[in-house]
């Protein structure tokens, strides 16, 4: 049996976005549509909000975009493991 852990689809990302906004006592009518997000990205933003509070839904979205940029998706062709 093999499992594949992939990025969230837009609907899943939006559900998590709304969940964490509620936890932060914020709200938004905006639908989140960012590619390459994982549940860990949301948790990282939530944890970092303890030290640098998230002020609005736009602030939260901007931080998520920054988190995705750090992944360097375009240069993800690096090989991990043994080379011959």
Give the percent of the chain with pLDDT over 90.
64
Verdict on whether the full-model pTM lies above 0.85: no
Q: Is residue 20 in a domain?
A: yes
Domain span at residue 68 reads 10-72
DSSP 1-30: ------PPPHHHHHHHHHHHHHHTT----P
Q: Is residue 5 in a domain?
A: no
Per-residue pLDDT of 26-40, as tens digits, reads: 999 988 889 999 999
In sequence order, the 6+-apart residues with CB closer than 8 A to the CB of 41 are 64, 67, 68
Per-residue pLDDT of 39-59, as tens digits, reads: 999 999 999 999 999 999 999
Query: For the chain, how many structural domains are there in total?
Result: 1
Per-residue pLDDT for 78 more than 60?
A: no
Q: Is residue 84 in a domain?
A: no
Q: Is residue 56 in a domain?
A: yes
The whole-number pLDDT of residue 82 equals: 55
Q: Is residue 79 in a domain?
A: no
End-to-end CA separation in angstroms for the chain:
28
């Amino acid at each position: 049996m093999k499992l594949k852990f992939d990025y969230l689809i837009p609907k899943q990302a939006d559900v998590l976005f709304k969940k964490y906004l509620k936890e932060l006592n914020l709200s938004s009518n905006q639908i989140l549509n960012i590619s390459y997000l994982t549940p860990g990205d949301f948790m990282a933003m939530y944890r970092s909000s303890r030290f640098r509070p998230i002020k609005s839904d736009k602030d939260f979205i901007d931080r998520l975009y920054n988190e995705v940029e750090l992944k360097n998706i375009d240069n993800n062709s690096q090989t991990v493991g043994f080379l011959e």
